C-alpha cells in the first residue's frame, strides 16, 4: 500500500521494495535514501514467481508501487457481512460501493505469504447525496458535485459513500438527486 513518509523506515536495515517503472521511481528512491533506508529494485514486468523470489530474498518490509500494480505484489481479502475474511473471501479489485450501514473487514497477504491482522472499518452514517458528509443534503452538496463534474477541486473532501446509484462515483445522478430534494420534488 502507499506509504506516507512517517510510515517509511529510518532504519537502514529495513529494505524498501520499489515496484515502479515511471519517473516516480527515481523520486521514491531518493526519498528512501534521505530517510536512511536501502531500496530493492523490481520490474513490474517480473512474473509472479520472480517477484516472489525478490520479495523473499530481500526481506523488504515496505513496498512503494502504484495502485494499478499493487495486485502484483499482494492481495486484499475482504468481507462486508461482519465475518472475518479468509483467503476464500472476495479479493479487492475495485472500489466497494457501500450504500447501507456496513462492517468492512479486510487483510492483505503478500506474495511471500506474509499476512497482516484483520482490520475493521464500520460505516454507519450513510446519507445518500451528503457529498460533504455533514449530515445534511443541501445546495452545498450540489455545488460540490458540479465541482467534481467540472474537474474543479472540491471545496471540501468528498464522501464517496454519498453515492446514490451504487456506481461508486459522484456524478450527474448525485446532482439530480440532490437538486430534486432541494426543490422538494422527491
Ligand atoms: Ca451535506
Ligand atoms: Ca453515482
Q: How far apart are CA 157 and CA 164, in angstroms?
A: 17
User: Is residue 60 scored above 50 in pLDDT?
Assistant: yes
In contact, 145 and 176? CB cutoff 8 Å? no
Q: How far is the CA of 109 from the centre of ligand 2 (A)?
A: 31
Q: How far apart are CA 122 and CA 104, in angstroms?
A: 6
For position 119, what pLDDT does the model report? 96
Q: How far is the CA of 79 from the centre of ligand 2 (A)?
A: 22
Q: How far is the CA of 166 from the centre of ligand 2 (A)?
A: 6
pLDDT band at 13 (very low <50, low <70, confident <90, very high): low
Name the DSSP letter for residue 125.
-
Give, for 31, the enclosing helix (H) or strand (E).
helix 24-34
> Nearest bound ligand to CA 125?
1
17-51 confidence digits (pLDDT tens): 888 888 889 999 999 988 888 899 988 888 888 88
For position 181, what pLDDT does the model report? 93
Q: How far is the CA of 173 from the centre of ligand 2 (A)?
A: 6
Q: Nearest-CA neighbor of 92 among 80, 101, 100?
A: 80
Q: What is the mean pLDDT of residues 110-127?
A: 84
Q: Can you give the residue ranges of every domain in the chain?
A: 5-72, 73-123, 139-182
155-165 confidence digits (pLDDT tens): 888 888 788 99
Q: How far is the CA of 159 from the centre of ligand 2 (A)?
A: 12
Q: How far is the CA of 169 from the centre of ligand 1 (A)?
A: 16
> Nearest bound ligand to CA 171?
2
In terms of pLDDT, which residue wins out, 65 or 125?
65
Q: How far is the CA of 172 from the centre of ligand 2 (A)?
A: 7
> Nearest bound ligand to CA 182?
1
Q: How far is the CA of 3 from the centre of ligand 1 (A)?
A: 30
Distances (CA, A) of 113 to 26, 43, 85, 96, 110: 28, 20, 16, 25, 5
pLDDT band at 1 (very low <50, low <70, confident <90, very high): very low
Domain 5-72 has CATH 3.40.50.300: no
pLDDT band at 185 (very low <50, low <70, confident <90, very high): confident
> Nearest bound ligand to CA 131?
1
For position 108, what pLDDT does the model report? 93
For position 8, what pLDDT does the model report? 58
Q: How far is the CA of 63 from the centre of ligand 2 (A)?
A: 32
Q: How far is the CA of 163 from the centre of ligand 2 (A)?
A: 5
Amino acid at each position: 500500500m502507499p506509504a506516507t513518509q512517517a510510515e517509511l523506515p529510518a532504519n537502514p536495515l529495513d529494505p524498501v521494495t520499489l515496484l515502479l517503472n515511471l519517473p516516480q521511481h527515481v523520486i521514491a528512491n531518493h526519498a528512501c535514501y534521505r530517510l536512511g533506508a536501502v531500496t530493492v529494485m523490481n520490474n513490474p514486468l517480473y512474473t509472479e514467481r520472480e517477484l516472489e523470489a525478490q520479495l523473499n530474498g530481500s526481506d523488504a518490509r515496505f513496498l512503494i508501487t502504484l495502485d494499478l500494480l499493487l495486485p502484483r505484489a499482494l492481495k486484499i481479502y475482504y468481507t462486508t457481512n461482519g465475518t472475518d475474511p479468509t483467503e476464500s473471501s472476495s479479493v479487492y479489485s475495485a472500489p466497494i460501493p457501500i450504500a447501507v450501514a456496513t462492517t468492512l473487514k479486510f487483510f492483505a497477504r503478500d506474495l511471500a505469504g506474509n499476512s497482516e491482522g484483520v482490520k475493521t472499518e464500520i460505516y454507519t452514517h450513510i446519507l445518500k447525496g451528503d457529498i460533504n458528509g455533514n449530515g445534511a443534503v443541501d445546495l452545498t452538496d450540489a455545488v460540490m458535485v458540479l465541482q467534481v463534474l467540472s474537474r474543479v477541486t472540491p471545496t471540501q473532501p468528498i464522501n464517496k459513500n454519498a453515492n446514490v446509484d451504487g456506481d461508486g462515483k459522484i456524478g450527474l445522478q448525485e446532482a439530480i438527486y440532490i437538486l430534486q430534494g432541494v426543490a422538494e420534488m422527491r
